[in-house]
Structure 1
C-alpha cells in the first residue's frame, strides 16, 4: 500500500508575521494531519518553488501579484488564500466598510452598522486612509478639537467616536470558524471629560496596544466592569462573518466590533483586517489546521 504524500502548503509572509504565526505548535500539528508547511522565498520565482497544493500569503505589490498569476496558470488546481483582488478592498478604510450596510443579517435582536465617516463632531478618530498592515497604517489619533485635526497628516479617514464602554471585540475568521476575544479600548468621552482635555489630540498605534498606555488609568476599566462586559452573541457574529466572507470573497480576516453605549442592541464594525495576528487567538493552531484540512480535502474530493 502506497503511503499518501502530505499536502504541501507554501507560506509567503513578512518576517514579523512569519515569526508570530509559524510556531512549532502549528507546524507539528499540521504535519500530524498530513500537511507540510513550507516557507516560500519571495526573492525567488514562486512557480520554481512549487508544486504547492495551497499558497498562504500576505505579500503585496505588482511583482507578487504577477508571480501568483504565473503560479496559478501553471498549477490551476492549487488553492491561493486569498486572491489579491479580494484583499485589495481592505487596503482602504473607506472601501473596507462599504460592504457592511449591505450585509443580509437575519436577526431580530441585534443590529450592526458602521460609524459615520463624514459629519464632524468632536471627538473623532483619525485613521490613515491606507490600511496595508504597515506600521504607518496603524498610527491613529483621538482628535479632540479643530487644532488637533489640523495636526493630522492627510490622507486620513475621520471616523465618528462612539462611546462603547471601553471594550472592543476582535472577531477572528478562519473560513467558517469564528472566534471572538475581548480587549481594552479607548475610554468613553463625555462632554465633561472633553472640557477637561488639555491637548489637541491623543496619538496611538492600534487600539489593542492601549492596555500599555500610561494615560489610561486601570481603575477606569474596573469601574466599567470590563471583565464582566457581555460578549456579543456568537450566532450573531457568525452571521456577520459569513456575510463578510460572501461579499468580500475572503477566508482569512478579522473585524473589530464595538457596542454603541447609547443604543441597547446596536453594534458597529470599525475595522476589517486581512490575515490578522492569529497567534493572539486561543487555540489558533487547531482552528487553522482544521481549516487547511477542509480546504485541501474538499478540493481533492471534487477531483480538481
Structure 2
C-alpha cells in the first residue's frame, strides 16, 4: 500500500499514521492505538534467520506489554494462513458450514515426503508449496499423470484442478466490507490422466489484471459463466471471518463450469487490494470501528472477528504500520 497517501488520507480524518521501525525499540515510537501489519516475511524468515527471530520477539513483547493496542491482524490468526495445510483444512470444512449456498473447496492431498505414485488419486492436481507466502509460493504446477509426481518437491499440497472457464474471482475483505474483481485464470483442461507434460506456472503472473498467456486462453467457445452470487459471497466472507478471526484477507474463488458451484481455492494474508477503489476509506472505517468498540467494551473486544487487527500507531488516534 502507498503509506504516504494513506497517512495523508487519515490525517484528514483525525488519525495519525506512523511507520514503525521494527529494528528500533517500539516503546519510544508509540504509544499506538492500532497496529496494522503484514509480518508474513518476518515470520517465515524467523524459521531460519536469527535477526528475523529477534524482530518478531521484539514485536510480540511489545504486544504482550500493551494489551490495549489493537493488532490487525492477530499474529496467531495470520500465521495459520502461512501454512497451506492449515488453511486448506479450514477451507475443506466450508462445504458443511455453507451447504445451503453450494460453496465448497476442491479435494486435496498433503504431501510431506516423496510418495508412492500408486496413491495418486486426484484428477489433474495443481501442486502448491506448503508455505503460502513469498515469491516461491506463487510457483505452481499442473500435473497430468501419476508418473509426473516425480516433478513435485515436498512438502507441498496437491489440489484437484476444477475447470472454471479461465476466470478467477478475487474477493478482498476489509472488516465487514468486501469487494471482488475478475482476473484471468487457467483455461480448461480435459479431465483424467493423460500423457501431457507437467505445466509449470507462476500464479501471480497468470492472474494479473493485464495478463495475456496461452495458459489463460480458452481453446473453445464457451458460454459465459454466471457471476458469483453476491449473497453467497457475503455468506462465505462472514463464515471465514469467524473461522479465521481476521479482518484483512483475500479469498480466491472460481465457478465450476459443470455445476456452477462457488469453489474456494485459496485464502491470502493482507492481499494487495489492487482494483479496490475504496480501500483507504474502508480500512480507516474499520480502524475507527475497532477503536470505538474497544472504548465502549474494553480491551476484551479486540479478540472478536469484528475487531481483526492491523499495524497502527499514535494520537489523536495513532495507527502504526
Bin for the TM-score computed over the shorter chain: 0.7 to 0.9
Preserved CA contact (<8 Å) 1:260 1:267 = yes
- Over 3 Å counting, the alpha-carbon distance change for 1:279 and 1:205 in structure 2 is closer
> Residue 257 of structure 2 corresponds to which residue in structure 1?
261
Contact 1:58 1:275 in 2 (8 A): yes
1:210-240: CA deviation from partner (whole Å, max 9, x where unpaired): 953532465x399446xx5432122211211
- Measured in 1, the distance between the counterparts of 2:241 and 2:289 equals 16
Report the counterpart of residue 208 of structure 1 in structure 2.
207
Contact 2:141 2:198 in 1 (8 A): no
Tell me, yes or no, if the aligned pair for 1:117 and 1:158 is still in contact at 8 Å: yes
1:246 Cα shift? 0.9
CA distance in 1, matches of 2:99, 2:149: 38
How many Å apart are 1:33 and its aligned residue? 1.4
Is the contact between residue 141 and residue 201 of structure 2 (CA under 8 Å) also seen in structure 1? yes
Secondary structure of the residue aligned to 1:212 is coil
Partner of 1:128: 129
Equivalents in 2 of 1:257, 1:85: separation in Å?
24
Tell me what 1:248 maps to. Answer: 244
Structure 1 segments of 4+ aligned residues over 6 angstroms from their partners: none
C-alpha RMSD of matched pairs (Å): 2.6
Q: 1:229, 1:106 → 2: CA distance?
A: 21
SS of aligned partner of 2:214: coil
Q: With CA pairs under 8 Å and 6+ residues apart, which has the higher RCO, 1 or 2?
A: 2
In structure 2, what is the equivalent of residue 40 of structure 1?
20
Taking the aligned partners of 2:55 and 2:207, their CA distance within structure 1 comes to 30
Aligned equivalents of 2:179 and 2:219: distance in 1? Answer: 23
Match of residue 278, structure 2, among 272, 283, 291: 283
TM-score (norm 1): 0.81
| Structure 2: gaps spanning 5 or more residues | 47-52, 110-119, 300-321
Change (3 A) 1:86 1:106: closer
Scaled by the length of structure 2, the TM-score of the pair is 0.77
Which residue is 2:66 aligned to? 75
Deviation of residue 128 (structure 1)? 0.3
Distance 1:124 1:303, change over 3 A: closer
Gaps of 5+ in 1: 1-20
Q: Deviations over 1:32-52 (max 9, x none)?
A: 111122111121122332111
1:58 — aligned with what? 38
* Contact 2:98/2:236 (<8 A) preserved: no
Equivalences for 1:1-304 in 2 at 5 Å? 21-59=1-39, 60=43, 61=46, 62-103=53-94, 105=97, 108=100, 110-118=101-109, 120-131=121-132, 133-190=133-190, 197=196, 199-206=197-204, 207-209=206-208, 212-216=211-215, 218=217, 220=218, 223-224=221-222, 229-264=225-260, 266-302=261-297
| CA-CA distance at 1:267 after TM superposition | 1.7
State the SS of the aligned residue for 2:286. Answer: helix
State the aligned residue count. Answer: 276
